[in-house]
Amino acid sequence: MKKVLAFVILTLILSISFAYAQTGYTNISSIALYNDTDYSSKINDTLKISTKLHILNETEDWYYVKTTSGNTGWIEKYFVTVPSQRFVVNNTNNQINIRTSPTTSAKAVGQLAPGEKIKYVDTYHSWHIIEFGGDECYIASWLTDIEYAASQEIILLYDTINIRDNASTSSNVIAQGNKNDTYKVTGEKNGWLQIRLPDGKIGYVAGWLTSYDSNYFSEGSQGHKKTTDELNLRTGPSVNNSRITTLKSGESITVVETVDGWSKVVANNGIIGWVNDYYLKDVYPLSGKVILLDPGHGGKDPGAISFSGKYEKHINLEVTNKLKNALEALGAKVHMTRNSDTYIANKERGRMADRLNVDIFLSIHHNSLNNSDYFGLSTYYNTIKYKSPSQGYNLAEAIYLNAITINGVYRDGILDRNFEVLRETNRPAALIEIGFMSNPQEEMNIHNVSFQNVMVEKISNGIVDYFQQ
């Protein structure tokens, strides 16, 4: 009876701890999930970037986690981003329906009363995901606000960042902050964070210029290198540390930290360890790759017309030019379907990828709907003609999972669509819709140069991840 009672109590404790577990996300691609808090222990799984993790336990440097697929294991805190605790608040005078899926036609399972708040999980397809009745449910983002726990902080990632009096690039600058400055965050609005300044005033800072923690790998710089000889991978930065395995000569690795002539690296299979810098050489991760970028629309085809009357064709070309420069800096040979405001049929764009025999084709777009409440980033692939993930899904996923690591960028999905521009090529192809021009707040964000620069960096990282899969 005592054994049975002990088992019941343990089960209840584990259930409660899981129900109230923190949520984290991996911030690097292809990272190992270990069986123990030791680099030399068994690898239970290899996780993609932005993998959702339920944190069940922790030590000083490691989290014990469970993935949505049910795998458990230990992962170093360095590679996990844990967002601040947030709540969805009803600041209206009306009851707001809680639904089973992100659509107004979905079943209502409850209501959020005026002044009431509930735990926020994520945002998807312009709806907030919340914890309700032990399940994850949805509530309309345009009817609610996001409030942060009182003790939460954010950290600025760059110098000379403007802090404004409202959540908009057109609002007044009331202060400036610099890299590693910290602020108490009290709310979130349209991709901007509401912060409290040292004088007690409230200000707003662009989410894409911030982090939740300065120690997270995602805010560091990763180096792409190859081994020049067979090389021991060790548990620490010294020959006195135990050998985990031996890397082959010419093996590609990602450097995430350096200490006294030693580099902390992640190998392609996700294994982590330390190697001697002497046996590493810098490489361009996209060397030898040929890429065709397609700035959507152009000429007589303006594309979407934004809330303020701007044409999509212009911002597509602006962002694509920035992306071209970033990919060339990583070693790629980059072609573009158009370099100016000219019209090219979608069918011709896709077939251009075949003629050039490129490794990948990526079409750059910005979204629009008749409903100005919608926002978020999405990527697309096509399976009407091609069923293999290598023909587009893997590329769309790699770009998407990197792009949504940006604070203030919200998920709108990885979607299978019969777009002509994707259907008319035999090369691996994807399309990205970076944000909604029809949403007045998101329109201002996507036209902001700093937002574009951060987005281009994340798209580039996604393309590198695709080729390293």
pLDDT at 8: 37
Query: How many domains does the structure of the chain reveal?
Result: 5
Residue located via tokens 């009407």: 384
pLDDT at 218: 52
pLDDT at 5: 37
Residue 51 predicted with pLDDT over 90: yes
pLDDT at 151: 77
Q: What percent of the chain has pLDDT over 90?
A: 87
Same domain, yes or no: 182 and 68: no
As beta bridge partners, residue 430 has: 362
Q: What percent of the chain has pLDDT over 70?
A: 94
Same domain, yes or no: 242 and 135: no
What do you get for the CA distance between the two ends of the chain, in Å?
52
Same domain, yes or no: 321 and 448: yes
Same domain, yes or no: 301 and 365: yes
Enter the tokens of residue 249.
């000569």
Any domain includes 372: yes
Contact present, 87 and 147 (Cβ < 8 Å): yes
pLDDT at 7: 36
Tell which of 28, 57, 81 closes a domain: 81
Same domain, yes or no: 144 and 239: no
Q: Look over the chain and give the mean of its residue pLDDT values, rounded to a whole number.
A: 92
Any domain includes 228: yes
pLDDT tens, 343-365?
999 999 999 999 999 999 999 99
Same domain, yes or no: 327 and 459: yes
pLDDT at 260: 94
CATH for 374: 3.40.630.40
Any domain includes 190: yes
Same domain, yes or no: 312 and 438: yes
| Separation between Cα atoms, residue 348 and residue 469, nearest integer Å | 29
Any domain includes 456: yes
Any domain includes 225: yes
Same domain, yes or no: 320 and 455: yes
Phi, psi of 455 (to 5 degrees): -65, -45
Any domain includes 307: yes
Sign of CA dihedral 55, 58, 63, 65: negative
Residue 213 predicted with pLDDT over 90: no
pLDDT tens, 159-211?
999 999 999 999 999 999 999 999 999 999 889 999 999 999 999 999 999 98
Residue 11 predicted with pLDDT over 70: no
Q: Report which DSSP code applies to 190.
A: T
Same domain, yes or no: 75 and 141: no
pLDDT at 385: 75
pLDDT tens, 143-169?
999 999 877 889 999 999 999 999 999
Sign of CA dihedral 153, 222, 79, 466: positive
Residue 6 predicted with pLDDT over 50: no
Phi, psi of 304 (to 5 degrees): -70, 150
| Separation between Cα atoms, residue 395 and residue 288, nearest integer Å | 17
Residue 235 predicted with pLDDT over 50: yes
pLDDT band at residue 404 under the 50/70/90 scheme = very high
Same domain, yes or no: 249 and 189: no
pLDDT tens, 369-402?
999 999 999 999 999 877 787 789 999 999 999 9
Same domain, yes or no: 39 and 17: yes
Segment (H or E) for 442: helix 440-446
CATH for 64: 2.30.30.40
* Of 203-207, 217-221, 298-302, minimum mean pLDDT range: 217-221
Any domain includes 216: no
Residue located via tokens 């400055």: 181
Q: What is the residue range of 252's domain?
A: 221-282
Distance (Å) of CA 358 to CA 68, 163, 183, 328: 35, 43, 46, 14
Any domain includes 131: yes
Same domain, yes or no: 118 and 179: no
| Separation between Cα atoms, residue 140 and residue 135, nearest integer Å | 17
pLDDT band at residue 14 under the 50/70/90 scheme = very low
